[in-house]
Amino acid sequence: MPECRMIMVRIFLFFLILLTLCQTLLAQVELEFIQPSVTYNETTLDLAFAGGINSAQHQTIDLDGDEDLDLILFDRSSDKINGFENTGDSYVYQPHFEFLFPENIQHWLVLADYDCDGKKDLFTYTGQGIRVFRNLETENILSWQEIANPLKTQGSSSLINLFFNPTDIPSIADLDGDGDLDILVFDFASSSQIEFHQNQSIENTGSCGLDFFRVTRTYGDILDCGCDSFLVNQPCASSGRILHAGGKALLSLDYDRDGKMDLLLSQEACENLNYSNNIGTLTEASFTPFDNRFPSLITNIGFTSFPSAYFEDVTFDGKKDILVSSNERSNSARDIDFKMSSFLFENGGSPSENQFENSSVFLQNQMIDVGEFAYPAIVDVDGDGLNDLVIGNAGSLIDDEYSSTLTYYRASATGLEWQTDDLYGLSTLEYTEIKPQFIDLNNDQKLDLVFSLVNNTLETQLSYILNEGESLTTLDPSRIRFLDTEISRLDDYVLDDIDEDGLPDLLLGLSNGQLNYYRNAGSSAQSLFTLDTESFLGLTADNDRSNLSIAIGNLDGDAQMDLITTDRTGKIKIYSDYHSGNNSALESLVNIPNSEVLVSTRLGRISKPASAELLGRNVIVIGSIQGGVRLLATNGASGETSLKLTAFPVPSSKDKIISFQSNLSNTQVEIYSLAGSKVAELNLASYITESIDLSNLEDGLYLAKASSGDQQCTVKILLGGGN
């Protein structure tokens, strides 16, 4: 027995020694979010780089463990979460908050405490209905466990998916006053009546949980009869025919503070919020006729399209306010002003009475927000030697007309200063989808403006205006000319001298994820683009790479141009020295503050990059579908880098699923017991998290040995020690 114990000690010491034997070589680009000063008409924009707002779903949750409620905005247009820290009297944008949530959140998100442990859990969309994550926050560290995918309810004869239209937002609240969460959804088949799914976990088990029973398909005898026309206890004028089958948003709130949940409804492509008072009982809801003048109950909100409401205290006075934004995924009718689409109705009532005051813009007026989509470019506009920021857009409402412009922020010694929302007066052209690039098109040693656009006949064109002055301060929009290219509205482009013959060539990123290279066979006076290579760098059509956007920059300081791509995954990829044909993509990673963890970016489903030096830093600026920008800085490529293996959570949760991440590619991980027996293995790509189920192993300490090339290192993992 002593000999056996000595062998185990030697094995354990051997693995501990390996913890320090980890070095290799790898060039990589690590990024960090930065938020330099930005002023607008001499007013500082405190949330300048928060990314803009289109269709925000406002929710609160404690994200930093300080026992106050922070704010998240889930934007349905981008499928992206933006997080804001509660400082007691204001909100501060914290880019790393978004990484505290599960990935692939789509369409809607509701935060509510289903297990009555005092921590808000997460309900969201899945293709089969509702996905539920339990909040496992311990010691101020937020983590999630998927509990249901999909959530089930007891139907007429069996358990069924709690299913509804993905464009809807359900009501998830305690409707019957028994302490657990119930759910209201519009029925999927007709989208005209409301289903009530009562949570019976308290009744059946005495504790909070997710035990649902569909009580009725006609909750409150409410019927949707058309835009802003919800009727109670009476048929539609068209004998019950469905008049409006679009998306719906439901919100349950105790507006009159009588202990019963009242109801707020809104609809896709309709203008107002519709309120009804619950005059029934906790066990039998009964509603008054709907009033579409909420929240003032004096005048209509008139939001243009699909207003959705949220009931949260965002003014730090202990009283819940009403927040309103659009829930439209896209502005297809071009009638929403996405530069102003987040509103606050402050609760000015007493502790016993709600009273919502006139609306004000909420958070959005503290951000760079150019409307719908942001297409950035970095260039020295005024010739002062400092690069400035120019942002195109899909469009915004200008005198009730939807058109695209260029917004110009000038760089100074202290930050960025807004100059104009209509650089060069391009709004007079009445185009949309203006994506700018500044490049010397005619080889006269001066930068010109190239931009794609959609004209009045919905044709996409690539155009340019030559710089005929001393700087880019003034260009004449009447001098616009067009390049002969085949480009569609959802494609992206970059001009760059790829073959290094002195003429700018064309890269075209297709919406399906394919990248094509067109060589310029013309002259400095007349460009002529001919297809050279389809699927350049091996980038073929790929659904995971759809919404492909591209940019160029010198990120690693080697004087060679790098290609930067983003796509629907929300990740940034870099192709170093891409002129050489290098098709090895390096995924850019973001540092999480106060942590050694590096994570892939989550930019949302559509974004647009640009890269150059700005304010003394080498940056990638990311334009969002939400109309704003985010700024990521890099110091270039690293040289020697130690092999690092990260394992989490440690100790594991009860399911004994451990995730691993390596900073190097082709990393093999072998898991050993302390007796030296190999019990599991897996392979890792650089900074790609992989998980392994170790539930077949006994609780206790194990060692994970990582190998990449001739380098090794080891970390300890503890199974079964967590919740």
Section 672-701 average pLDDT: 87
Of the candidates 542, 518, 515, the one whose C-alpha atom is nearest the C-alpha of residue 528 is 518
Would you give the end-to-end CA distance of the chain in angstroms?
Answer: 34
CB 341 within 8 Å of CB 53: yes
Residue 16 pLDDT exceeds 70? no
Phi, psi of 409 (to 5 degrees): -115, 120
pLDDT tens digit sequence for 124-166: 999 999 999 999 998 888 899 999 999 999 999 999 999 999 9
User: What CA–CA distance (Å, rounded) separates 521 from 302?
Assistant: 54
Q: Which two tokens stand for residue 23?
A: 């070095």
What is residue 8's predicted lDDT score, i.e. its pLDDT?
37
What is residue 666's predicted lDDT score, i.e. its pLDDT?
84
Section 708-717 average pLDDT: 85
What is residue 13's predicted lDDT score, i.e. its pLDDT?
37
Peptide bond into 295 cis (omega under 30): yes
What is residue 467's predicted lDDT score, i.e. its pLDDT?
96
User: What CA–CA distance (Å, rounded) separates 276 from 292?
Assistant: 9
> 69 CB contacts (<8 Å, ≥6 apart)?
60, 61, 62, 86, 312, 313
Residue 23 pLDDT exceeds 80? no
**Per-residue pLDDT band at 643 (split at 50, 70, 90):** confident
Section 446-462 average pLDDT: 97
In the block, tokens 């857009």 appear at: 393
What is residue 5's predicted lDDT score, i.e. its pLDDT?
35
> 17 CB contacts (<8 Å, ≥6 apart)?
none
Cβ atoms within 10 Å, residue 312: 16
**Per-residue pLDDT band at 555 (split at 50, 70, 90):** confident
pLDDT tens digit sequence for 595-609: 667 888 999 999 999
Q: What is the pTM of this model?
A: 0.85
What is residue 244's predicted lDDT score, i.e. its pLDDT?
56
**Per-residue pLDDT band at 370 (split at 50, 70, 90):** very high
**Per-residue pLDDT band at 21 (split at 50, 70, 90):** very low
User: What CA–CA distance (Å, rounded) separates 429 from 414?
Assistant: 34
Radius of gyration of the chain (CA): 28
DSSP string for residues in 261-282: -EEEEEETT---EEEE-B-S-S
User: What CA–CA distance (Å, rounded) separates 196 from 187?
Assistant: 10
What is residue 25's predicted lDDT score, i.e. its pLDDT?
30
What is residue 30's predicted lDDT score, i.e. its pLDDT?
85
CB 273 within 8 Å of CB 324: yes
Sign of the CA dihedral with 191 first, then 196, 201, and 207 last: positive
What is residue 169's predicted lDDT score, i.e. its pLDDT?
98
What is residue 91's predicted lDDT score, i.e. its pLDDT?
98
What is residue 587's predicted lDDT score, i.e. its pLDDT?
82
pLDDT tens digit sequence for 301-360: 999 899 999 999 999 999 999 999 999 999 999 999 999 999 999 999 988 899 998 899
Cβ atoms within 10 Å, residue 636: 14
In the block, tokens 């349950």 appear at: 252
pLDDT tens digit sequence for 189-201: 888 999 999 999 9
Per-residue burial over 479-505, b if 16 or more Cβ lie within 10 Å, else e, is ebeebebebeebbbbbbbebeeeebbb
Q: Which two tokens stand for residue 442?
A: 């005619």
Q: Which two tokens stand for residue 195?
A: 């289903």
Section 685-709 average pLDDT: 86
User: What CA–CA distance (Å, rounded) separates 567 from 559?
Assistant: 26
Q: Which two tokens stand for residue 538?
A: 């091996």
> 19 CB contacts (<8 Å, ≥6 apart)?
713, 714, 715
CB 58 within 8 Å of CB 326: no
Q: Give the C-alpha distances (Å, rounded to integers) separating 697 from 503, 657, 665.
A: 62, 11, 27
At 515 the three-state DSSP class reads strand
What is residue 257's predicted lDDT score, i.e. its pLDDT?
95
Residue 648 pLDDT exceeds 80? no
| Partners of 715 in the β-ladder | 704
DSSP string for residues in 458-512: S-EEEEEE---SSSSS---GGG-EEE-----TT-EEEEE-SS-SSS-EEEEE-TT
Q: Give the C-alpha distances (Å, rounded to integers) separating 578 from 55, 495, 537.
A: 37, 14, 8
Phi, psi of 304 (to 5 degrees): 95, -55
pLDDT tens digit sequence for 68-109: 999 999 999 999 999 999 999 999 999 999 999 999 999 999
pLDDT tens digit sequence for 501-514: 999 999 999 999 99
Section 271-290 average pLDDT: 97
CB 279 within 8 Å of CB 288: yes
What is residue 17's predicted lDDT score, i.e. its pLDDT?
37
Residue 20 pLDDT exceeds 60? no
Q: What angle do CA 24, 27, 32 make, to 5 degrees?
A: 115
pLDDT tens digit sequence for 479-501: 999 999 999 999 999 999 999 99
Q: Which two tokens stand for residue 240?
A: 């019950």
User: What CA–CA distance (Å, rounded) separates 115 from 699?
Assistant: 27
**Per-residue pLDDT band at 15 (split at 50, 70, 90):** very low
Return the minimum-mean-pLDDT range out of 98-102, 242-246, 630-634, 658-662: 242-246
In the block, tokens 């996409």 appear at: 460
What is residue 27's predicted lDDT score, i.e. its pLDDT?
39
Section 195-223 average pLDDT: 97
In the block, tokens 């005619």 appear at: 442
Section 541-550 average pLDDT: 96
User: What CA–CA distance (Å, rounded) separates 169 from 226?
Assistant: 18
At 257 the three-state DSSP class reads coil
What is residue 390's predicted lDDT score, i.e. its pLDDT?
98
Q: What is the mean pLDDT of the chain?
A: 91
What is residue 659's predicted lDDT score, i.e. its pLDDT?
84
What is residue 647's predicted lDDT score, i.e. its pLDDT?
82
> 86 CB contacts (<8 Å, ≥6 apart)?
68, 69, 70, 71, 316
Residue 636 pLDDT exceeds 50? no
What is residue 502's predicted lDDT score, i.e. its pLDDT?
95
Cβ atoms within 10 Å, residue 336: 24
Residue 256 pLDDT exceeds 80? yes
Of the candidates 253, 171, 185, the one whose C-alpha atom is nearest the C-alpha of residue 214 is 185
User: What CA–CA distance (Å, rounded) separates 244 from 50?
Assistant: 35
Section 506-531 average pLDDT: 97
Q: Which two tokens stand for residue 22?
A: 């980890």
**Per-residue pLDDT band at 722 (split at 50, 70, 90):** low
User: What CA–CA distance (Å, rounded) separates 271 from 123?
Assistant: 26
